[in-house]
């Protein structure tokens, strides 16, 4: 079981790194639609700025490192939410 978890963790790490290398600098679909409809330049000042704005962390000067850390934090958060959800379902049974 530990061997499988290690293999999955390595595959996830590899996927995050490769996705960061293959990512595009072009705007994603939501930004493109906002620009086409004319409200893409408006910024909202409702609350603090996102720590993962543009799918990057703000702590690195390298775009590549910033994207990889944002991807890894996202994977860790999703794993945590999934584990919490699984634990909640297990307790109800």
The answer to whether residue 3 scores a pLDDT higher than 70 is yes
Which phi-psi region, left, alpha or beta, contains residue 26 (left: φ > 0; alpha: ψ -120 to 50)? beta
What pLDDT is recorded for position 90?
Answer: 83
**Average pLDDT of every residue of the chain:** 81
Q: Is residue 73 scored above 70 in pLDDT? A: yes
What does the block give as tokens for 21?
Answer: 């290398």
Q: Is residue 29 pLDDT above 80, yes or no?
A: no
Residues in the chain, overall count:
93
Q: Which DSSP state fits 40?
A: T
* Global pTM value: 0.64
Q: What is the pLDDT of residue 20?
A: 79
53 token code pair: 């704005």
pLDDT tens, residue by residue, 38-59: 877 776 655 567 777 777 888 8
């Amino acid at each position: 079981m530990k061997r499988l978890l290690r293999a999955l963790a390595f595959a996830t790490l590899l996927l995050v790194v490769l996705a960061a290398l293959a990512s595009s600098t072009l705007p994603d679909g939501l930004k493109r639609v906002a620009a086409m409809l004319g409200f893409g330049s408006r910024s909202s000042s409702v609350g603090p700025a996102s720590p993962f704005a543009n799918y990057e962390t703000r702590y690195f000067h390298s775009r590549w490192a910033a994207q990889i850390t944002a991807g890894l934090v996202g994977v860790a958060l999703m794993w945590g939410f999934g584990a919490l959800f699984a634990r909640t379902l297990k307790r109800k049974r």
